[in-house]
Structure 1
């Protein structure tokens, strides 16, 4: 929320104040819109119409912007090191310090790669997964923070709504080369500073040499920057290929695991079926034994019945004969 100044009027929130903006931009993108609406409603209910309008105007951050914002909040020291490196790079660019530029460029490459990986990990901790396109935008934003003081401030504030575009050249180079020194040294370098035609004639040659040296240094810096960008692009391409292959390996591993699970389930079903079959075979054997026993008992009963019938007939005939006598 806005705070009041000494005159009682609302003041603009400062970047390091725990404002509604900070709370909103700390949320993952899926929760941003609802929280923004609720924050605007609270501001409006408190009579802060300007604050409510400002909150409603905030854009939901992209996945890449969320990752950079979260990185700035969870790893401020690492982000601060990135911004300090950016200042050193711009100073070396301004001074056309070739060796320093090469060393700082190597540090830039390592630091950007490390922070990109860190941003991916911190986003994953919040349940947000970054794809290849989002990772490229994160890297682009970090490079922009190295090249531009304005982009550096935006990254440090942790309130990005979208990725920041990387400038084609560092600001010092875009300004047209090194800043000229002021004071006596600058005055002494101008032709005619000490008067006299002979001194002016002599002053022209060193000035031309210095200008030629500056132009050559700028040319070499431009060439080195071009080579650096080409190498970095190749590395990004290789990293993308690596990520694609890693994703394919992960997908194949998941499929293999699913297939293995299917095999395990099928084998479990087969084992249960075999157990049931063995149980049924045992019951069948037992029932066959019972059947054989019952058949034998039925045969014995039939034989006994035949004998009893024969005995009955014999007794009946004997009785009839006895009666006739």
Structure 2
């Protein structure tokens, strides 16, 4: 059984190029999905305090949630994550979002006056303070690498300027409608590995399905592949590790069957984003809204909070 290609990281470790995304999947669904994925050859599992059973040969990524940005909470949440996973360390630990919610056990604390919004910490710790707490974890043996998720160039520059420590990984939404070329070029220059989540887009009802795009279908038919395989291949062509999410056995197996796009096909798929821009994951547009500007998207124009970098 092939275990797939691995990519080097700046910390001297390697990361499997194709992984399984599990964020927001139901616990029972995730347990089955992880078993199927491991049987299919996956060794890169991306999680967020969700499921329990692990294997020491896996590359496990997890993330500190928005309610635990305070420096005193970062290691506490890591310990809870390790307890849930039943492992002694994580291969990669990320700051999930550059946004701090009020501290506490409620992962989505409600806004006290606006029921359709999540509360944002009015006096949050800075990203620099949270990052300093992450750096300290490297001396504990509980993590082998640290990184960030959903961070822009500005946020990365801020934490690096203050600490001198560069994230090993930046996990971001990435697909042909959101290539983020400037961010990709910056991360490449700084030797920050990009992991692409939502590489297939997602199934939001008010957004077009990327897997249904006519050009993606055309390239898939040409290569005897599924549209999902084409979108995964687009990401691997760009040097990402890619973590498509699925809880369906057939799709999990299919997504791991890595294909290679010709340069012509890669350019053809890339072209669908030249005059289109679509970010599926903008918290200010979530059903339960986060009133904070993260990416400077149109949906973030009327928000109450800015990300506090320093």
Please state which band the TM-score falls in when normalised by the shorter chain.
under 0.3
Of Structure 1 and Structure 2, the greater helix share is in 1
In the superposition, the TM-score normalised over structure 2's length comes to 0.23
- Higher relative contact order at CA 8 Å, sep ≥6: structure 1 or structure 2? 2
Q: Which has the larger radius of gyration?
A: 1
